[in-house]
Structure 1
Amino acid sequence: MFTTKVFIKKTRIGNFLKNVREHYIRDDIFCGVPSCDKCTPVESFLSSIHKNECSSYDFNHYLILDTNVILDQMDVLDEDVIGNVIILHTVLKEVKHRSLPIYKRLHSIIENPSRHFYVFTNDHHKDTYIKQNDGELVNDYNDRSIRKSCLWYMDHLPKEKFIFLSDDVNNRNIALEEGILACSIREYVSHLVNGAALEDKLSRKDYHIDSNTKDVFPPHLTNVELLNGIKEGALYQGTFRASRDNFLEGFVNVESLDDPVIVQGRTGLNRAVDGDFVVVNLFNKEDWISPSEIVLEDDGVAEENIDEVEKKERQLKKSAHKKKGEIKPTGRVVGIIRRKWRQYCGILQGGMDGVYQLFIPADKSIPKIRIETRQAEFLRTQKLIVTIDSWPRHSRYPHGHFVRALGKIGDQNTENEVVLLEHDVPHSQFSEEVLSCLPKLPWIITEEDEQKRVDLRHIDICSVDPPGCTDIDDALHCRPIGEGRLEVGVHIADVSHFIRPGTALDLEAASRATTVYLVNKRIDMVPDLLSSNLCSLRGGEERFAFSCVWEMDENANILNTRFHKSIIRSRSAMTYEEAQMTIDDKTKTDSIAESLRSLNKLAKILKKGRLEKGALVLASPEVKIQMDSETMEPLDVEVKKLFETNSMVEEFMLLANISVAQKILEDFPECAMLRRHPTPPTSNFDPLVKAGRHLGFDIKIESGKQLAKSLDDAVKPDNPYMNTMLRILATRCMLQAVYFASGSLQKDEYFHYGLAVPLYTHFTSPIRRYADIIVHRLLAVTCGSDCTYPDLLDKQKTGNLCQNLNYRNRMAQYAGRASVAFNTHLFFKGKLQDEDGYILYVRKNALQILIPKYGLECTLFLAHKGETSNIFEYNEEDQTQKAGDVVLHSFDPVKVRLSLNSDNIQHEKFVLQLVSPCISGFSVPPLSEIEKMEVVDDKKRKSANDGHKKKNKKRS
Structure 2
Amino acid sequence: MLKSKTFVKKTRAGGVMKIVREHYLRDDIWCGSEACRECKQESTVLQAEACIESNLCPYPHYVVPDTNVVLHQTYIEREQGESANDRNDRAIRVAVKWYSQHLKADGLKVVLLTDDQGNKEKAEESIDEYVKNLTANPELVDRLALSKDDKAEIISSKVLFPEHLPLSKIQSGIKSGTFLQGTFKASRDNYLEATVFVQGEGEESTEVLIQGLQNLNRAVHQDVVAVQLLPRNQWVLPSSVVLQDDGAAKDDDVDGDEEEKAVISAAEAAGKPTGKIVGIIKRNWRPFCGMLNVSQIKESTRHLFTPADRRIPRIRIETRQASTLVGQRIMVAIDGWPKNSRYPNGHFVRSLGSAGEKGTEEAVLLLEHDVPHQAFSQNVLSFLPKMPWGITPEDMIKRQDLRHLTVCSVDPPGCTDIDDALHCRELENGNLEVGVHIADVSHFIRPGNALDKEAANRGTTVYLCGKRIDMVPELLSSNLCSLRSNVESVIGLKASLTYAEAQMRIDDTNKKDDITESLRGLNKLAKILKRKRIENGALTLSSLEVRFHIDSETHDPIDLQTKELMETNSMVEEFMLLANISVAQKIYDEFPDCALLRKHPAPPPSNYDILLKAAKSKNVEIHTDSAKALADSLDVAKVDGFSYFNTLLRILATRCMMQAVYFCSGMDSDFHHYGLASPIYTHFTSPIRRYADIIVHRLLAVAIGADITYPDLMDKHKQSALCNNLNYRHKMSQYAQRASVAFHTQLFFKSRGILNEEGFVLFVRKNAIIVLIPKFGLEGTVFFDSKDKAGPSLVFDEEGPTLKVEQTTFHIFDKVKVTISLDDSNIQHQKIRMALTEPVIPGVSVAAPDVEPQAKKPKVDR
1:779-808, CA deviations, whole angstroms, 9 ceiling, x for partnerless residues? 111222221222222222222211111111
Distance 1:352 1:786, change over 3 A: farther
Kindly provide the CA deviation profile for residues 325-358 of structure 1, in whole angstroms up to 9, marking residues without a partner as x.
xx21111111111111111111112563421111
| Aligned with residue 673 of structure 2, among 752, 764, 770 | 752
1:456-495 equivalent positions in 2, closer than 5 A: 456-495=402-441
> Residue 301 of structure 2 corresponds to which residue in structure 1?
355
Residue identity matched to 2:761: I
**Could you tell me which residue of structure 2 aligns to residue 76 of structure 1?**
none
Bigger Cα displacement from structure 2, 11-20 vs 490-499: 11-20
Farther off after superposition, 477-486 or 281-290? 477-486
From 567, 573, 591, the counterpart of 1:668 = 591
2:859 aligns to what? none
Distance 2:284 2:611 in 1: 32
Q: Does 1:228 align with 2:172?
A: yes
Selected match of 1:200 from 125, 142, 145: 142
**Cα shift at 1:22:** 5.3
Tell me the residue number matched to 2:797.
875
Superposition pairs of residues 169-180 of structure 1, within 5 angstroms: 169-173=117-121, 176=122
**1: CA distance between counterparts of 2:15 and 2:797?**
71
Deviation at 1:909, TM superposition (A): 1.6
One-letter code aligned to 2:451: L
> Could you tell me whether the CA contact under 8 Å between 1:4 and 1:26 is conserved in 2?
no
The total of aligned residue pairs comes to 845
**TM-score (norm. length: structure 1):** 0.85
SS in 1 for 2:143: coil
1:625/1:635 contact within 8 Å kept: yes
* 1:766 corresponds to: 687
Alignment of 1:420 with 2:420, yes or no, is no
Q: Equivalent residues in 2 for 1:149-188 (5 A)?
A: 149-159=95-105, 160-173=108-121, 176=122, 181-188=123-130
Comparing 154-163 with 910-919, greater Cα deviation is found at 154-163
Aligned partner letter, 1:680: P
Per the TM alignment, residue 17 of structure 1 is displaced from its structure 2 partner at its CA by: 9.9
Q: Distance in 2 between matches of 1:4 and 1:169?
A: 31
Q: After the TM superposition, which residues 828-847 of structure 1 pair with which residues of structure 2 at under 5 Å, given as runs? A: 828-830=749-751, 831-847=753-769
Equivalent position of 2:274 in the other structure = 330
Range 842-851 or range 660-669, more displaced: 660-669
Establish whether residue 687 from structure 1 lines up as the match of residue 610 from structure 2: yes
CA contact (8 A) 2:618 2:639 kept: no
1:13 Cα deviation from its structure 2 partner: 5.1
Q: Residue type of the partner of 1:647?
A: S
Q: What is the match of residue 696 of structure 2? A: 775
Residue 798 of structure 1 corresponds to: 719
Instruction: Give the secondary structure class of the aligned counterpart of 1:457.
Output: coil
Cα deviation for residue 35 of structure 1 reads 3.7
Distance 1:441-1:338 versus aligned 2 partners, 3 A rule: same
1:499 aligns with 2:445: yes
Select the residue among 601, 604, 617 that pairs with 2:540: 617
1:184-225 Cα shifts (integer Å, max 9, x gaps): 211111111233211111111421158972122222223333
Contact 1:292 1:321 in 2 (8 A): no
Instruction: Please say if 1:383 is aligned against 2:329.
Output: yes
Match of 1:569 among 492, 498, 505: 492
In structure 1, how many angstroms separate the alpha carbons of the residues matched to 2:272 and 2:348?
Answer: 39
Change (3 A) 1:489 1:267: same
8 Å CA contact 1:303–1:397 kept in 2: the answer is: no
Structure 2 equivalent of residue 344 of structure 1: 288
Structure 1 runs, 4 residues or longer, greater than 6 Å off: 7-11, 15-20
SS at match of 1:319: coil
1:53 corresponding residue in structure 2:
53
Contact (CA 8 Å) 1:259, 1:683: kept in 2 or not? no
Q: Deviations over 1:442-496 (max 9, x none)?
A: 2121122223311111111000000000111111101112223221111111111
Find out whether 1:266 has 2:208 as its counterpart.
Answer: no
Q: Is the 8 A contact 1:63 1:162 kept in 2?
A: yes
Of 268, 273, 294, the match for 1:321: 268
Once structures 1 and 2 are overlaid, which stretch shifts more, 401-410 or 343-352? 343-352
Using the alignment, how far apart are the partners of 2:78 and 2:56 within structure 1? Answer: 35
Higher helix proportion (structure 1 or 2): 1
Tell me the distance in 2 between the aligned counterparts of 1:303 and 1:882.
33
- CA positional deviation for 1:908: 1.1
Q: Displacement of 1:609 after TM fit?
A: 1.2
Question: 1 CA distance for matches of 2:155 and 2:304?
Answer: 24
In structure 1, distance between residues paired with 2:458 and 2:674: 27
Match of 2:563 in 1: 640
| d(CA) in 1 for partners of 2:160, 2:174 | 26
Distance 1:413 1:333, change over 3 A: same
> Structure 1 residue 237 and structure 2 residue 219: aligned?
no
| Partner SS, residue 482 of structure 1 | coil
CA distance in 1, matches of 2:576, 2:855: 44
CA distance in structure 1 between the aligned counterparts of 2:483 and 2:702, rounded to whole angstroms: 23
Q: Establish whether residue 541 from structure 1 lines up as the match of residue 462 from structure 2.
A: no
Q: Secondary structure of the residue that 1:332 maps to in structure 2?
A: strand
> Against the structure 1 CA distance between its residues 843 and 367, is the aligned structure 2 distance closer, same or farther, given a 3 Å change threshold?
same
Q: 1:885 to 1:385 in 2, by over 3 A?
A: closer
SS at 2:491 equivalent = strand
Equivalent residues of 2:661, 2:727 under 8 A apart: yes
SS of residue in 1 equivalent to 2:819 = strand
Q: How far does residue 53 in structure 1 lie from its aligned partner after superposition?
A: 3.0
Moved more, 919-928 or 421-430: 919-928
Please tell me the residue identity of whatever aligns with 1:471: D
Segment of structure 1 superposing worse, 211-220 or 703-712: 211-220
Partners of 1:17 and 1:55 lie apart in 2 by 58
C-alpha distance in 2 between matches for 1:470 and 1:846 = 43
Structure 2 Cα separation of the partners of residues 16 and 531 of structure 1: 65
Give the drift of 1:684: 2.2
Deviates more, 1:15-24 or 1:671-680: 15-24
SS at match of 1:768: coil
**Displacement after TM superposition at 1:510 (Å):** 1.3
Q: Is the 8 A contact 2:538 2:627 kept in 1?
A: yes
Distance of 2:703 and 2:8 partners within structure 1: 48
Matched, 1:902 2:824: yes
CA contact (8 A) 1:493 1:535 kept: yes
SS of the residue 1:358 aligns to = strand
Contact conserved, 2:792 with 2:844, CA < 8 A, in 1? Answer: no
Residue matched to 2:387 = 441
Tell which deviates more after alignment, 223-232 or 409-418: 223-232
CA gap of 1:666–1:43, structure 2 versus 1, over 3 A, is: farther
Q: For the structure 1 residues 265 and 484, does the alpha-carbon distance in structure 2 shift closer, same or farther, using more than 3 Å as the test?
A: same
What amino acid is the match of 2:568?
A: T
Q: Which has the larger displacement, 296-305 or 643-652?
A: 296-305
Deviation at 1:307, TM superposition (A): 5.1
CA RMSD of aligned residues (A): 2.4
| Other-structure match for 2:620 | 697
Q: Which residue of 2 aligns with 1:820?
A: 741
Displacement of 1:809 in angstroms is 1.0
Q: Cα distance 1:866–1:23, how it changes in 2: closer, same or farther (>3 A)?
A: farther
Whole-angstrom distance in 2 between the partners of 1:865 and 1:606 = 56
Instruction: Tell me if structure 1 keeps the 8 A contact 2:295–2:303.
Output: no
Match of 1:26, SS state, is coil
Q: Structure 1 residue 28: deviation in Å?
A: 2.3
**Alpha-carbon separation, structure 2, partners of 1:20 and 1:680:** 60
- How far apart are 1:883 and its partner, in Å? 4.5
Q: Does 1:886 align with 2:834?
A: no
Give SS of 1:455's match.
Answer: coil
What is the aligned partner in structure 1 of residue 842 from structure 2? 920
> Where does residue 709 of structure 1 map in the other structure?
632
